[in-house]
Structure 1
């Protein structure tokens, strides 16, 4: 994101688009039949890791696989948040490191909110509107973007103690694998074969937790926003800012961004 070796930009938020303007038909998973773990995990970025999450040779439907992975992701996020709290009151940390860790906590709290919303949306009735399915997919994608922000900050923050950096690498990596598996399973079950054309929708009223906002931009693939790619929006975020300057908020229109 920045060419400077010192990383202390305004934190990034991916606040998504949602709420359809019209009703849509219920959306059932593309496959409600029983599937072997080896088969369903082959559609994820980490097949071996995915298979380790489920009982071998015990076929389940896609709803079970997603619910299981989403709850494991939620547990993983809460554990990471508790792990971060160990460093909350360390006076030996630099201001830059403290700022980065505060961002990690805030992004982890957002990840928990996004996971809870996704789990709630995929209920036992097993139906979603087309609009809602794409919103859930975008929420799960936003979690991965939050993880990328944490990784970039961890590797770029000046004066971050080696013990802290080394201690956070593994849980961050594990969390990223979990989130990517959950996203892949949801995509496989609910949106894999849907038409990519989605009608216009209103902006989802997602809170930024009462933090100060200095600027908002919108990413739209149809060139009607400020940027057409997430990477361009991230690159536009200012560097060297302080928390008092406010947050740079990125709104992303729901969809698949192959970047």
Structure 2
């Protein structure tokens, strides 16, 4: 199974970037005015950071806002550049056009992520609540992942050289900028205390116990879940610190479930659900599902559970040889956070 744009990847990337920053700023010193040189030497790209913040004088919050604002501006310019190429798509090969369409989609996501980040840092001059800080950190990390995905698509296709030269140059500079923005955000707004790994009311953290996930659900939902999993594989249920499941549907190729395809089950999930509602669980019984699964960003708080390793398999045959980009050969894609696949 291939994945694109998953939160796990973006969280891992943000952790890698933050681990490269040896200098920590205590919460009670974050409002102190510091020279850019002092702050920039602990970022991933010190020289670029110093150029970005040259002739500035402020706090970590001031510098962070400057960087995120610049990232947003550059994301808009990059999107406009991609759009300008696509207006003349008839002059490009099919692989180039598909790579540009991927970059367009990813650039639109980045503009949304960075707009959201700027709204948040513009209001806060102190640590954000832990879960909110993690959300924003994930979005800024996702912007970097999207840049890399766009870059990969352009490099692995026989793209028109004019497209490559203009877009690759912009991608290189923008990646440095977004990296600095992420680094400064972590230093300014992410609390220093360790983030909890147990499940919280907003649904971001799922707490496994001995390799199993405790779920809380009604008797009706529990009966469907246990029946779908088969005899001897009962639900681990705990009244405290367990994950709330509000509803369930079953996907089965033999027609014994609610749906025969995963995409149909996702379409049936509620739109823009709230964390207090709990998860919408999709149980996928054993079988080989030849489909390309895409989870739209308005499908929030989904949980997808399969029948086990080598039992539930999602596969497809898109590949670069047939003029599909790596991004669009993924059999499983999500545009949102708060989706969990097991």
- Paired residues of 1:34 and 1:61 also in contact (CA < 8 A): yes
For residue 125 of structure 1, report the CA deviation from its aligned partner.
4.0
Within the alignment, does 1:178 sit opposite 2:177 as a pair?
A: yes
Higher relative contact order (CA 8 A, sep 6+): 1
In structure 2, the residue matched to 1:248 is 332
Note the aligned Cα RMSD (angstroms): 3.6
Gaps of 5+ in 2: 11-26, 206-270, 274-290, 296-302, 306-314
Greater shift in the superposed pair: 32-41 or 84-93: 84-93
Give the number of aligned pairs.
213
Q: Which has the larger radius of gyration?
A: 2
In structure 1, the residue matched to 2:50 is 51
Q: Secondary structure at the match of 2:89?
A: coil
In structure 1, the residue matched to 2:145 is 145
Task: String of CA shifts for 1:131-164, please: whole Å, max 9, x gaps.
Answer: 101111111001101011011111101x311121
Within the alignment, does 1:196 sit opposite 2:186 as a pair?
A: no
- Paired residues of 2:133 and 2:189 also in contact (CA < 8 A): yes
For residue 44 of structure 1, report the CA deviation from its aligned partner.
1.1
Task: String of CA shifts for 1:39-76, please: whole Å, max 9, x gaps.
Answer: 111121111111111233x4311111111001111111
The normalised TM-score by structure 1 is 0.70
- Paired residues of 1:30 and 1:193 also in contact (CA < 8 A): no
Alignment of 1:1-259 (within 5 A): 12-14=4-6, 31-56=30-55, 58-88=56-86, 89-127=88-126, 128-157=128-157, 159-191=158-190, 193-200=192-199, 201-202=202-203, 214-215=293-294, 239-240=318-319, 248-250=332-334
Cα distance in 1 between the residues matched to 2:115 and 2:70: 12
Q: Secondary structure at the match of 1:44?
A: coil
Gaps of 5+ in 1: 1-9, 18-27, 217-223, 227-235, 255-259
Q: Secondary structure at the match of 2:332?
A: strand
In structure 1, the residue matched to 2:235 is none
For residue 14 of structure 1, report the CA deviation from its aligned partner.
3.6
The normalised TM-score by structure 2 is 0.54
Cα distance in 2 between the residues matched to 1:245 and 1:195: 37
- Paired residues of 1:213 and 1:248 also in contact (CA < 8 A): yes
- Paired residues of 1:33 and 1:61 also in contact (CA < 8 A): yes
For residue 168 of structure 1, report the CA deviation from its aligned partner.
1.1
